[in-house]
Amino acid sequence: MIAAFLLSLRQLGDPRVLRVLVKSLVVTLAAMATLGVALWFAARALARWIGAAAGTADLAGALAVLVGVAFGWLLFRIIAIAVIGLFADEVVNAVEARHYPAALASARRVPLARGVAMGLRSAGRALIVNVAASPLYLMLLVTGVGTAIGFFAINAWLLGRDLADMVAARHMDARAMAAFRSDTVVRRWTLGAVATALMLVPFVNLIAPVLGAAMATHVFHRRLEV
């Protein structure tokens, strides 16, 4: 995993990777801004619908935005992974062209529709699983650190699956991908843990999805080496 991280870090200056980084950042930040505006107007509309005064409606809008900020990491992770799913093919292409040309020659291009579907499924999975796990998160609050550990572990598993699937889809059919998931549980969780940790660091989290996709490419192709 260290080798995958270092190789991916060195390739961040690749023009093909930089183009994906810029595109994914623009789309992700635009989506986050749109979500914030939507929360503001939805909360104000709801407050006015139940008969609140104008000032109270504005306060409700501000509170909704603050709630969005409070859940900013989860929202950013969901949106960023959904977005990187659109451009994952370009990142994987760049990594395979430099390090695994034979694999690139036999790779299948992931159609845009499939990439969008995978991104939306990963976003929905992250939202549903975290909502379902919220009672566990609340129960673990009494431990002081249990909630953070549980949140990290669950999202590392989710993120590892999402990133690995982006690469595997280019080389495997659905049945082979299912076998790949069962055979690489620890490696995928470790990949997800590294990417999750990167997403927790301010500013580094902006490049984490692209870095994670590059790492996933190395993890996929180097899995038989160890």
Question: 52-107 pLDDT, tens per residue?
Answer: 666 677 777 777 777 766 666 677 777 777 777 778 888 888 898 888 888 888 87
Q: Give yes or no for a contact between 218 and 8, defined as CB atoms under 8 angstroms apart.
A: yes
What average pLDDT does this structure show over 188-213? Answer: 87
pLDDT of 226 > 50? The answer is no
Q: Specify the DSSP element, H or E, that contains 177.
A: helix 174-183
Identify the weakest region by mean pLDDT among 34-38, 63-67, 158-162, 199-203: 63-67
Give domain limits for the chain: 2-220
Count the helix, strand and coil residues of the chain and give each as a percent rounded to the nearest 5: 85, 0, 15
Task: Quote the tokens at residue 12.
Answer: 């961040």
Contacts of 39 by beta carbon, 8 Å cutoff, 6+ apart: 61, 64, 65, 67, 68
Contacts of 139 by beta carbon, 8 Å cutoff, 6+ apart: none
What average pLDDT does this structure show over 177-199? Answer: 85
pLDDT of residue 90: 85
Contacts of 7 by beta carbon, 8 Å cutoff, 6+ apart: 95, 99, 214, 218
pLDDT of 224 > 60? The answer is no
Question: 163-180 pLDDT, tens per residue?
Answer: 888 888 888 877 887 788
pLDDT of 155 > 60? The answer is yes
Q: What is the C-alpha separation between 60 and 149, in angstroms, rounded?
A: 32
The structure's pTM equals: 0.80
Residue 216 has what DSSP assignment?
H
